[in-house]
Amino acid sequence: MKIVILILLGLTLSQCTKKNENQESQESLDAVLGDYQDDDKDFLDTGDAVRPADEEIDEVNPLNQCGFPDLSDTEALFFDQTLVYQYRRNFFGGLAHVYIDIDAKVRLGSSQVRSFFDFSLDVLGTGATDLVTGEVIADTSIVTTGASEQAEDFRGKVDSEAFPLRSNFDPEWKDILCTLPGSDYLVSTLGGYRTEVRFEPGYPAAMSPAADPERYDEEIGDFRAFTEIKATVISTNNPNLVEGKTYIGSVLVEKIEPKVTTPQGVAVESDRAYRMSYRFGTEEETRGLGLLIWAETYINHETREYSALKANMGSQSEINFFLPE
């Protein structure tokens, strides 16, 4: 049985390109991204143009639109939020139906100098039923022990160091100030492994929910692509990675429909939403680097928080849907 659950996020960024203007460039981008299995997702087409790379942006006090509580206090968190996802996994093996109740929780946040996400997963309970007699199987200790052991594979934390704020004014990044803070270094303990990674020139790891609405329009538009990112493994004990190896990857940021319904039937409405997709080698390598496969962030502009977080950390069959605690 496999318990797969995501979590995400640090806040970062990298070399970016705008929406492709011809089929040839789109095919080139497809080649970079690879062909991970993914669900059929209808991305939101607003008809708005994506900002050209050379277009100037009105930078009149843009940092005041980032949601920073105090520009002079670089350690102050401009968002810090915990989201939860409780669900049941069902398994049918032999003559028994087994279920496991799971409580997953993620805490994520960011300041001007660092970002983090901390993921925990706990087994709330297990049960089993004989499919022939319909009787409840009293002893589920083996199932409980196995589930608890597997849960260890999906606990951990990712800490990343943010670029100095001045880096966002460099020519290739001067238009990204608030929504996608950049990072070039992270330490991940996800899955019980410790991995240090250096990114060149950097990568966007998540979406800040704290910025003013106009910053998302100015900085992202409908689509941005960050390609040819070099992720070098400084140290690791993860068997899916090679210490010293450089993995070349890409991150896509796409605007999507801000309304969604959870598997439990809860309707979530937000002011805007984005999907971020990651490709760094195989899915196992991508996850080993401390990155998600993809995540959808649903943003509430009034609270400057996430309305929901939908994510895939490595299994298309188990999509996890986190809501505010």
88 in any annotated domain: no
Torsion 172-177-288-233 (CA) sign: positive
Q: What is the pLDDT of residue 152?
A: 67
Q: What is the pLDDT of residue 290?
A: 93
Q: What is the pLDDT of residue 104?
A: 87
Phi, psi of 21 (to 5 degrees): -100, -5
Return the number of other C-beta atoms located less than 10 Å from residue 75's C-beta: 9
102 in any annotated domain: no
133 in any annotated domain: no
pLDDT in tens, 157-171: 898 888 765 555 555
Which residue ranges in the chain fall short of pLDDT 70? 1-60, 147, 149-154, 164-174, 313-318
Q: What is the pLDDT of residue 47?
A: 44
Could you tell me which of 235, 244, 174, 222 has the C-alpha nearest to residue 13? 174
93 in any annotated domain: no
142 in any annotated domain: no
Number of domains comprising the chain: 1
Q: What is the pLDDT of residue 226?
A: 87
pTM for the predicted model, two decimal places: 0.76
The residue segments making up the domain with residue 292 are 16-77+156-315
90 in any annotated domain: no
117 in any annotated domain: no
Strand, coil or helix: what is 275?
strand
pLDDT in tens, 143-152: 777 767 666 6
